[in-house]
Structure 1
Amino acid sequence: MRKKVYLSLIILPLLVCLVMGGGAAYMLSYSIESSTHSYAYRWKKLQEEYPSMRQWLDSIRQSHALRDTTIKLRNGLRAHAFYLKGDSACGRTAICIHGYKDNALGMLYLAHIYNKVMRMNVLLPDLHGHGKSEGKAIQMGWNDRKDIEQWIPIAERMFRDSHHPSRIVLHGVSMGAATTMNVSGDKGVPSYVKAYIEDCGYTSVRDEFADQLKAQFGIPEFPLLPITSQLCQMKYGWNFYEASSLRQIAHCHRPMLFIHGDNDTYVPSWMVHPLYKAKPQPKELWITKDSEHAKSYKDYPEQYTAKVKAFVSKYFN
């Protein structure tokens, strides 16, 4: 009997560890190691979702106005981006940052605002492990901020105008919004980055994953999320608890426009309120009625365009 008790005291903890370890490995694979969307998929979805934009999309494709560029990152990997030159840019550039499992082409609806309507230059980076950018796992906007910080001076040099000062806005959606907010709180961002726009970004990776664990699987945060976070730290050098847009924007004193749909359940609508509160002035907030995740532009294209144009123009003059 005593031997059985001893065996159970050894075996049961081992079984628990195996189950938790297997669960953490699955969660990591499911959340940041799964495949991302192809360019063909994204181009088709753009045509379907934004029929009014088809003529412009076809024109930039046929005229080869949408061009490619690549850089080598400090980590040794190659990063890719598309770009469009504006015909009256006068040193004005938008860097548009895509969301989770998307790619640079997914931001062409934003490029339409900046390039077609506002006549600006546009850079559309593929984040780590998306599109043509190298990388084994999604970085959820955390280490992505370092990649974007390498793209910023490259964009400034690419589009420099000897007659006008360089002015850049960062505009991100979902994970791209988290990336944008994470950049905004870092020291050393060049002064020619004049403004930020975040559309439906999350407070932190921990908050987002905890919410989705409950929503998709009915699983509480503890103990699976901390274990998975530690596994991510071991494999990729970052963890879910350090990746906080909420902490980053508390250090941002440049203008930021917050956009969020009030019917967003993927990145819950409540997240925008602590983010907005944490951000020092100047700042603006626009909540779109009945919009689901990343659908504010689709639901309100004219208002979205006008809001972006007014906000950016205010700080580019």
Structure 2
Amino acid sequence: MKKGAKLVLIGSGITAAVVALAETARYGMAQYLSGVAMNRKMPPHSLQAERKVVASCVNDVQMAQVNQAGKELAVVPHETVTIRGRDGISLTGHWMPVDHPKRIILAMHGWRSAWSHDFGIVAPFFRDNQCSVLYCEQRAHGNSGGKYLGFGLVERYDCLDWVNWLNTKTGGDIPIYLCGLSMGASTVLMAAGLDLPKNVRGIMADCGYTSPVEIWKYVAEHHLHFSYQVCGGPLGRVARGKLRMAMDAESCPQALARSRVPVLFVHGTDDRLVPIEMTFENYKACSAPKQLFIVPGAGHGMSYVVDRKGYQAALTDFWTAFDKNPA
């Protein structure tokens, strides 16, 4: 073989090796990131990545209020209930009924959070306004089963299963409102695209994102500081293997475009985890009756803390509009 041909072969081999190495690195990064995002048990040495994401939205004074309220809600006497999701996963909820309820709130918490933490601050207002509440533990959190978080794609079906449980429990004639914070907000917004019972009168969505793909892209580029294009393809394939569902199988705008259920959208202007533009996009896509409550100066999930009176007024107006008037 001539020397030139040998050099070409060697060069081709080196190129192939580099490409293979790059693909291996991309796949390894995708495995790691999907573990941070989706696994119940996070990968080793992943705490720093989680801290980078969470630290972007922490106000110590406000978080202290939220933490204290969460502790208080957790010890309120209630009934702990379990159901089986349609895929067989065990799901846990915390049922806090009131006498003569005007409505029922089905509450879905956010990513790597907890029912009492996310809703402790608003729970007294729910109770004082004759709301029975089912606080759900999202799959792969707390006492619920499941290995993986689905960013709303699978949880939307859990939400429907809980609605059906509530109607069996209470008779199906009490207005139900789906309520979610962050990932929980996107969960209930995606659930809007399902065939919900007629007594589901509304959805309250606080700081929800548009889709799993878009929030992953935003967090990767703005908090973890790398291009999503580098591992977006492998990440989608890894995630699909975990959920048995494509990550673009549903989005909030798609679900809202075909929904009949009224929505109250809430977002803070200083949210650095889920950009407020995502709520604007969801709001624009919604074909049902809709209301928008924006809180100046509020960070991620802190709208109720920053403007309690305004938030309470928005909830009251929303309930008044739809308790007895289904869309």
Bigger mean CA deviation after superposition, 227-236 or 201-210: 227-236
- Is 1:125 aligned to residue 125 of structure 2? no
- Is 1:20 aligned to residue 26 of structure 2? yes
After TM superposition, list the pairs within 5 Å mapping 1:150-165 onto structure 2: 150-160=161-171, 165=173
Equivalent position to 2:98, from 86, 106, 121:
86
Q: Deviations over 1:82-138 (max 9, x none)?
A: 010112205x211011011012222233332222x2112100111110110001111
- Is 1:262 aligned to residue 269 of structure 2? yes
- State how far apart, in whole Å, the 1-side matches of 2:17 and 2:67 are: 60
- State how far apart, in whole Å, the 1-side matches of 2:83 and 2:185 are: 22
2:86 and 2:157 in contact (8 A); partners too: no
- State how far apart, in whole Å, the 2-side matches of 1:67 and 1:171 are: 19
Per the normalisation by structure 2, the TM-score is 0.85
Q: Report how far residue 46 of structure 1 moved.
A: 10
2:53 aligned residue: none
- Where does the alignment leave 5 or more consecutive residues of structure 1 unmatched? 37-44
What SS does structure 2 have at the residue aligned with 1:121?
strand
Q: Report how far residue 57 of structure 1 moved.
A: 3.1
- Is 1:145 aligned to residue 156 of structure 2? yes
What SS does structure 1 have at the residue aligned with 2:120?
helix
In the alignment, residue 75 of structure 1 is paired with which amino acid?
A: D
Q: Report how far residue 51 of structure 1 moved.
A: 8.7
2:192 aligned residue: 184
1:61 aligned residue: 75
- State how far apart, in whole Å, the 1-side matches of 2:84 and 2:40 are: 24
Q: Report how far residue 178 of structure 1 moved.
A: 0.1
In the alignment, residue 79 of structure 1 is paired with which amino acid?
A: L
1:134 aligned residue: 145
Q: CA separation of 1:78/1:51 partners in 2, compared to 1, >3 Å: closer, same or farther?
A: closer
Q: Deviations over 1:224-255 (max 9, x none)?
A: 12210111112321233234111111111221
- State how far apart, in whole Å, the 1-side matches of 2:62 and 2:176 are: 25
Equivalent position to 1:101, from 99, 103, 112:
112
Per the normalisation by structure 1, the TM-score is 0.88
2:256 and 2:288 in contact (8 A); partners too: no
- Where does the alignment leave 5 or more consecutive residues of structure 2 unmatched? 1-6, 43-60
After TM superposition, list the pairs within 5 Å mapping 1:156-305 onto structure 2: 156-160=167-171, 165-186=173-194, 188-305=195-312
Q: Deviations over 1:127-183 (max 9, x none)?
A: 11011000111111111000111010111222338xxx3210001110000001000
- State how far apart, in whole Å, the 1-side matches of 2:112 and 2:62 are: 15
1:93 and 1:159 in contact (8 A); partners too: no
How many residues were matched structurally?
299
- State how far apart, in whole Å, the 2-side matches of 1:47 and 1:207 are: 26
- State how far apart, in whole Å, the 2-side matches of 1:50 and 1:57 are: 10
Equivalent position to 1:2, from 4, 8, 13:
8
Q: Report how far residue 53 of structure 1 moved.
A: 5.3
In the alignment, residue 146 of structure 1 is paired with which amino acid?
A: Y
**What RMSD, in angstroms, separates the aligned Cα atoms of the two structures?**
2.3
Q: CA separation of 1:126/1:52 partners in 2, compared to 1, >3 Å: closer, same or farther?
A: closer
1:110 aligned residue: 122
In the alignment, residue 159 of structure 1 is paired with which amino acid?
A: T
